[in-house]
Amino acid sequence: MKGLLIICEGLDGTGKTTTIKQLLSNNKENNDYIYSKGIGSDTFIGKLARKFPSTLLFLLELMYIQYRIIKPNLKQNKIILQDRYDLSILSYPTAEREYNKLIAKIFKPFIIKPDALVYFHASLEEIIKRLSKSSDNKYHKILSKNPHLIISRENKYLDLYTKFNGYKTKIDTTNKTAEQSSKALEIFVYKNLKTLDM
């Protein structure tokens, strides 16, 4: 089996991380899976980007993750479940500024093309409910009190999803348990992507 890079994207509160971790928990004996935390990781650049959010820092963080995690594991034929990738950067509100568009254009040739995209979605009410539980996260507080920001970013995400040229699927986690969402992700990986292994 050849290595696969599967990017998991979606708004905060849609269950990306929870679903991936549930899948990994269900497959503890399977060494094929690799979890990679993307934008906002605990790397030095990730911490810097969280403190001073900018398109440039987020893209530098992504380059670092590619070099340290993605490339080595693809060579070892692993299935990389990437929690946030370039779509998270491009859907960020400030990415629409002209100089950020230029930065993204410069970096684009150096970004590894994913084998597939999984877009996580939930109803607006459910997202707000989940974000409201994250009392220690300032960004989640802002989003939960400003639904228009959630709607605006989701529209940008959906536009990027439509433009994505490759295998893709949406997982609506609104009324799903983590177990149900992880099964949907696993089915997509093993059944819908089997042609990539040829």
Where do the structural domains in the chain lie, given as residue ranges? 4-190
Q: Among residues 66, 29, 127, which one has the least CA distance to residue 58?
A: 66
Question: Are the beta carbons of 170 and 184 closer than 8 angstroms?
Answer: no
Largest CA distance in the chain: 47
Q: How many CB atoms lie within 10 A of CB 38?
A: 24
- What are 82-110's pLDDT values in tens digits? 999 999 999 988 888 898 899 999 999 99
Residue with tokens 């089915």: 187
Give the CATH number of domain 4-190: 3.40.50.300
CA atoms within 13 A on the CB side of 170: 13
pLDDT band at 53 (very low <50, low <70, confident <90, very high): confident
pTM of the model: 0.91
One-letter amino acid at 73 equals N
- pLDDT above 90 (res 194): no
More confident residue, 30 or 82: 82
pLDDT of residue 197: 59
- pLDDT above 80 (res 192): no
